[in-house]
Amino acid sequence: MDEKDIAIKVDHLTIRYKSLKAFSIKQNFFRLHKNKRETFEALRDISFEVKEGEILGIIGKNGSGKSTLLRALANIFSPDEGTIDTFGHSVSLLSIGVGFQKQLSGRENIILSGMLLGFSEEEIRAKMNRIIKFADLGKFIDMPVSTYSSGMYSKLAFSITAILETDIILIDEVLSVGDRRFKKKSYRKMKELISDDKRTVVIVSHSIQALRDLCQRVLWIDDGNMIKIGKTDEVLDEYEAYMDAEE
């Protein structure tokens, strides 16, 4: 793959979490030197590239490291080993529980989120009404995000990313959250966004059908290890056979 066409390059990525077991303060004091050595590898020697304009799906069982990988791509987590390069592209992460200040209103969070994505306040305000209309939160747009349900949170997060349109969009399961009408609307909008041959999208989902419909390639991760990356149907067929054998 020609490097000038690459939007994301992940090279031998490893991410570790410190793992502290539940001991009393006294026990932890005497075990401190040991606990420092106890780590959990969430991702282990992962390497892949995503070309500009590609839609890549990520599949795997719960706890496989899928969300950790997205957060690393969004520069929320730093690699313990290896590198991630997004070549100066703007990146947004759509994930429940990430990115909002819950004491602020939805409207205030639109401005804050947009500025964190690199947009000017003027650019954000120019698209504010479109974001609010798409989110369809009514009076809740001026209420603290702490009062939102997970579906409302998802609507606002999706609307900000969908309307502000960064170069790279990272999606963590949010297409499965919200009421039926919003699911259909967000799915249509996502298909519209990814039809832009310059926009790169990485989708984590347990929905086999959504990945088949949207993605050109799929990356399969299991227990922090990269099992396979390749054509969507080929990888998903192998994954489904693996999951059927596990049951």
The pLDDT tens digits for 189-243 are 877 877 777 889 999 988 899 899 889 999 999 999 999 999 999 999 999 999 9
- pLDDT surpasses 90 at 98: no
pTM for the model: 0.81
Q: How high is the pLDDT of residue 177?
A: 57
Residues 13, 69: Cα–Cα separation, whole Å:
9
Give Rg (Cα) of the chain.
Answer: 19
Tokens of 37: 């050595």
Are the C-beta atoms of residues 245 and 66 closer than 8 Å to each other?
A: no
The angle, 0 to 180 degrees and rounded to 10, between the axes of the packed helices 121-135 and 150-164 is 130
Q: Residue 31: what pLDDT? A: 56
pLDDT, greater one: 187 or 27: 187
CB 128 within 8 A of CB 122: no
Distance in angstroms (rounded) separating the CA atoms of residues 10 and 22: 34
Q: Provide the phi-psi class of 153: left if phi over 0, else alpha when psi is between -120 and 50, else beta.
A: alpha
What letter does residue 53 receive in the DSSP assignment? T
Checking DSSP bridges between strand 225-231 and strand 217-222, what pairing results, if any?
A: antiparallel
DSSP structure string for 177-214? -S-HHHHHHHHHHHHHHHTSTT-EEEEE-S-HHHHHHH
Is 66's pLDDT higher than 90?
yes
Q: What pLDDT sits at residue 37?
A: 56
In this predicted structure, the answer to whether residue 173 has a pLDDT above a threshold of 80 is no
Number of helices and strands (H, E) in the chain? 8, 9
For 3-246, the fitting CATH number among 3.40.50.720, 1.10.10.10, 3.90.470.20, 3.40.50.300 is 3.40.50.300
> Strand 91-95 and strand 200-204: pairing?
unpaired
Calculate what percentage of the chain has a pLDDT beyond 90: 56
Determine how β-strand 200-204 pairs with β-strand 168-172.
parallel
Q: Which residues of 148-184 are buried (b: 16+ CB within 10 A; e: fewer)?
A: beeebbbbbbbbbbbbbebbbbbbbbbbebbeeebee
